[in-house]
Amino acid sequence: MELITILNHCHRHRGFVYQQARFGGDKKSIEVDVRPREGSAAVCSGCHQPAPGYDHLPQRCFEFIPLWGFLVFLRYRMRRVDCRNCGVVVEEVPWGDGKHQLARAYMLFLARWARKLSWKETAEAFHTSWDQVCDAVEYVVGWGLEHRTLESIRAIGVDEIQYAKGHKYLTLVYQIDQGLTRLLWVGKERTIESFQGFFTVIGEQLAAQIEFVCSDMWQPYLDVIRERCSQALHILDRFHIVAKMNKALDDVRAAESRQMAQDGYPPLLKKSRWCVLKREENLTSQQKFRLRDLLRYNLQTVRAYLLKEDFQQFWEYNSPTWAGMFLDFWCQQTLRSRIAPMKKIARTLRAHRELLLNYFKARKQISSGVVEGLNNKAKVTMRRSYGLSLIHI
C-alpha cells in the first residue's frame, strides 16, 4: 500500500490530488506534493465562491500529522484568484489557511492531545514546539467559539500566560461559572486590542449578560473590562495578589541576605526562603523552629513577613466596610515601613481599593469557586477543556 493511497483514504479533498510522496533532504521528513485537480476552479478565500485564476504564489509547506517518526509536509503552490467581489485574493484550501503553518488536521490532532496532556508535554511527545501547540489550541478554541451557540455566560476570568522564556504573552479567557469551567478564548499578547478581540467574538449581547469578571491587576485588562463589561462586578484575583505579595517578600529577603553577607554579618537568612514564604501551618517542624528563631531579630525580612501574614486576615472579613477599614489601616502601616517592595504593594492595593472590595460583594452573590477565581490548579484543568465535544478531522 502506498502513502498516497492512505492519504486519499483519510484526507481526501475534492478539487485537489496528491501527486507524489518522497523523503525530504534530511531523510527525517516526508514531503507530499499536492496539485489542483485538472479543470477544477479555485475558490476565493473571501466569499468562498469559485473564481477565475490569477497567478501562483511560491510553494509552501503545511505540516501534517507525523507518521512513524517522520515529519510530514504537504507542499502546495497556492493560487490567487481574480474574484468579482473581492478582487485579487489568495485561494481557499480545505486543509489549512494562510495564517497557520500547520495543516488543519494536524492542529486538531495536537489540540486533542492537549486536552489530555499539558501543552509542554504535547509539544515534546510530537517533536513540535510549545508555540505550535498553543497555535493549534488557539485555532480550535476560536473555531469552536464561531461554530457553537454560547448560552449565557455568567462569570469569566481573564489571565495571562508567559511563554518563550517570558518574552511573550498570551491572554486566556475562561468561563468560570459554577459547574462549567472551560477555556473560551486564546489571544496573542496581553494588550487592550488583544483582549477586546474576545468581546468582539462573543458580541455585545452576550457580553451584556456577564455578571462577574475576575482578573489580575494588569491595566489593559482593567480598561477593557470597564469599557466592555461595565455592568459586571469586577473582582481581582486573590491568588494573584497573594503571589505578588510573596514575590515582594522574596525580593526583600534576597536583597537583605546579600547585604548582610557583604557587611560581614552571620548568614541569618540562609535557607530561610520557605520559612517566610509558606503559610505557617504548612511549615515542617524544623522550618517552624527556624522561623521562631528568625522572628527574634529586627530584620526587614521579618517585618515584611509580619506584614504579609497580617494581610491574610483581609480575606476573612464578611463585610466590605470592615474589610475596607482593615485595608486602609494595613496600607498606612506598610507605607511607613520603609521597605520599598512592600510599600509598592501597598500603593497598588490602595489604587485598586474598590475592585479589591468587590471580592466581598461577589462572595455574597455567587459561589466561592468563582470568587476564588483563577488559582493555578483550576487554570490547568480549564485549559484542557474547550467545551467542544465534536472535533473531527
Instruction: Enumerate binding residues for Zn ion (CB under 5 A).
Output: 44, 46-47, 83, 85-86
Q: What's the Rg (C-alpha) of the chain? A: 27
264-280: b (≥16 Cβ within 10 Å) or e: eeeebbeebeebbbeee
Nearer to Zn ion, 50 or 387 (CB): 50
Grid cell listed for 52: 477565475
Nearer to Zn ion, 57 or 67 (CB): 57
Residues paired with 70 in a beta bridge: 67
Nearer to Zn ion, 80 or 238 (CB): 80
**What's the one-letter identity of residue 11?**
H
Q: How far is the CB of 315 from Zn ion (least distance, A)?
A: 56
219-229: b (≥16 Cβ within 10 Å) or e: ebbbebbeebb
Q: How far is the CB of 81 from Zn ion (least distance, A)?
A: 7
Nearer to Zn ion, 50 or 142 (CB): 50
Nearer to Zn ion, 82 or 251 (CB): 82
The sheet with strand 180-188 has its strands ordered as 180-188, 168-177, 155-163, 212-215, 233-236
Terminus-to-terminus CA distance in the chain, angstroms?
22
Nearer to Zn ion, 54 or 70 (CB): 54
Q: How far is the CB of 42 from Zn ion (least distance, A)?
A: 11
Nearer to Zn ion, 91 or 135 (CB): 91
**What's the one-letter identity of residue 387?**
G
Grid cell listed for 322: 470592615
Grid cell listed for 270: 540562609
Nearer to Zn ion, 42 or 349 (CB): 42
Q: d(Cα 249, Cα 341) in Å, to the nearest integer? A: 7
Rounded to 5°, angle at Cα 267 from 262 and 268: 125
Nearer to Zn ion, 52 or 267 (CB): 52
Nearer to Zn ion, 48 or 296 (CB): 48
Q: How far is the CB of 55 from Zn ion (least distance, A)?
A: 16
